[in-house]
Amino acid sequence: MICVGIDAGSRTIKVVLIDGEKLTVLGSGVVDQGIEQEALAERLLGDVLKTAGIERERIASIVATGYGRKLIHAADLQMTEITCQAAGVSHCLPGTRTVIDIGGQDSKFLQLLPSGKVSDFAMNDRCAAGTGRFLEMVATQLGVRAAELGEMAGHSRKPARISSMCVVFAETEIVGLLAQGCTVEDIAAGIQIAIAQRIHAMGGLTATPPVVFVGGVALVPTMDAALSTALGHQVTIAPNPQLTCALGAAIMAAKRV
């Protein structure tokens, strides 16, 4: 029995195939998001199936999640990313009590019960502050790729103090810091600290260990260290942190069957 999870996120589309009985991953893939979300998801699913050597007819159930989930008409069911993320993380790292999810255009703070179910959550999807989009803006200002910011932050000796998390005001602030002779490494470190502090203050929720970090921004080096400092707890990056939500959707598909 093959089950599929499709995470149609704001920046990327992710697909995970699992054995619905053993809940083991059989294949996965990621592609950049676009205007033709359904076509992109279908093409990615086809590629993942081909690589795994699995025929489409063997799929028992498909669950879609993420911002674009309602556009994935091949799905048997659409579920929120809150539910799917909790399921995916709890499967990979049982006993997780807090999940920090920083994606392209939103960030989430999930509190989980020992059973793995969500007890409370807070979400920022109204502005770019504390998201991957914010990091992309900073990278553009510094003339580097977003993926390089983490490595640069690791070489900082005196992180810059970033007082504004508004994209527009932060952009002006960064220009001013550069004019004052602040290094790009110190600015990169300051941005990571500012994002971590914003996550820490999100919704007034308190992190309970174990704390797990997921989402595309979890792939940025040293971001986990900034979060660990801000939250006061060691933060662990989940295996394949960009795919945990799609994995959770596939697990929910298996439970549905």
Q: Check if the beta carbon of residue 207 is closer than 8 Å to that of residue 232.
A: yes
Give CA–CA dist 49/55, Å, rounded: 7
Name residue, tokens 């086809």.
46
Q: How far is CA 151 from CA 138, 173, 189, 210, in A?
A: 14, 22, 9, 25
For 130-156, the pLDDT digits (tens) are: 777 888 888 888 888 888 888 999 999
For 162-213, the pLDDT digits (tens) are: 887 676 677 788 889 999 999 999 999 999 998 898 888 887 788 999 999 9
Mean pLDDT of the chain: 92
Q: For the chain, which domains are there?
A: 2-88+242-256 (3.30.420.40), 96-237 (3.30.420.40)
Give CA–CA dist 44/246, Å, rounded: 13
For 1-19, the pLDDT digits (tens) are: 999 999 999 889 999 999 9
pLDDT score at 202? 84
Ranges of beta strands (E only) in 166-253 are 211-214, 235-237
